[in-house]
Chains A and B, each alone.
Chain A
Amino acid sequence: GNSVTQMEGPVTLSEEAFLTINCTYTATGYPSLFWYVQYPGEGLQLLLKATKADDKGSNKGFEATYRKETTSFHLEKGSVQVSDSAVYFCALKLSGGSNYKLTFGKGTLLTVNP
């Protein structure tokens, strides 16, 4: 079946450190890939996405590249800020159809200290 595996947390970094959160997937067909972020007390927000192999999604300094050969979509940021503290979820959506249900990973809690 379809699944997403992401790095276990929690991850604790100092401000301006480099961030990587690993995400790999298993899917039939050609999925679209997403990173969602959940700030304390808020809903899941789409952070970035990529819809085909070699696409790079980027937003707010975060980037992730869709790697079909390694079935990965790792999230990176060069210099994290305290305001980036949140839970990050990797997710996939299969292409085709109209339902658009998402398959998520467990989430990774990131804490950035000043």
Chain B
Amino acid sequence: EPEVTQTPSHQVTQMGQEVILRCVPISNHLYFYWYRQILGQKVEFLVSFYNNEISEKSEIFDDQFSVERPDGSNFTLKIRSTKLEDSAMYFCASRGLTGGEQYFGPGTRLTVT
């Protein structure tokens, strides 16, 4: 069964460093998403991406964040200068053209020290 994969499973970085979180969505999907969950808090929407551009972003997704689909398979989230409060679990999701179900990856746990 096709699945969304994410790498790495855990990333530790120092404050101020850049990180790139990687996702491989399901191959025939067209809509891509990033969500995050700070420990003990809700899963929050960050950004959605369709047709090589951002279709919606939340207030969390400021200029420090960017997304890219550099090739036909990967979907990345970049944080340019990490802050302590960026420590969270980051989930990638994708969905096809028809139907609304989003398929989620297992998440990347980002720890900023």
Instruction: Point out residues on A near B: beta carbons under 8 Å.
Output: 4, 32, 36, 41-46, 89, 91, 93, 98-107
Instruction: State the Cβ distance, B56 to closest chain A Cβ, in Å.
Output: 5
Q: Is B100 part of the binding interface, using a Cβ–Cβ cutoff of 8 Å?
A: yes
User: Bound state CA distance, A107 and B89, in angstroms?
Assistant: 13
Say how far B102's CB is from chain A's closest CB, in angstroms: 7
Q: Which of B37, B48, B101, B104 interacts with A43 by CB under 8 Å? A: B104
A-B contact count (CB 8 A): 57
- In the bound complex, residues from chain B placing their C-beta under 8 Å from that of A42 are 106
0 or 1 for each of B57-94: is its CB under 8 Å from A? (1 = yes): 00000000000000000000000000000000001010
Asked whether A104 lies within 8 Å of B55 as measured between CB atoms, the reply is no
Contacts of B104 in A (CB 8 A): 36, 43-45
Q: Which residue of chain B is the closest to A6 with respect to CB atoms?
A: B42
Chain A residues, Cβ within 8 Å of B3: 43
Q: Does B19 contact A (CB under 8 A)?
A: no
Contact B102 A100 (CB under 8 A): yes
Q: Which residues of B are interface residues toward A (Cβ below 8 A)?
A: 3-4, 6, 31, 33, 35, 37, 40-45, 48, 50, 55-56, 91, 93, 95, 100-107
**Interchain CA distance A88-B62 in the complex, whole Å:** 29
| Contact A100–B95 (Cβ < 8 Å) | yes
A102 CB contacts on chain B under 8 angstroms: 35, 43, 45, 102
Q: Are A46 and B41 in contact (CB under 8 A)?
A: no
Q: Is the CB of B40 within 8 A of A106?
A: yes
Closest to A105 in B: B42
Is the beta-carbon distance between A104 and B100 smaller than 8 angstroms? Answer: no
A91, closest chain B residue (CB)? B43
Given contacts A43-B3, A43-B105, A44-B91, contact A100 B31 (CB under 8 A): yes
Residues of A with C-beta under 8 A to B105:
43
A93 to B105, CA, bound (A): 19
Chain A residue nearest in CB terms to B92: A43
Give complex CA distance A103, B3 in Å.
22
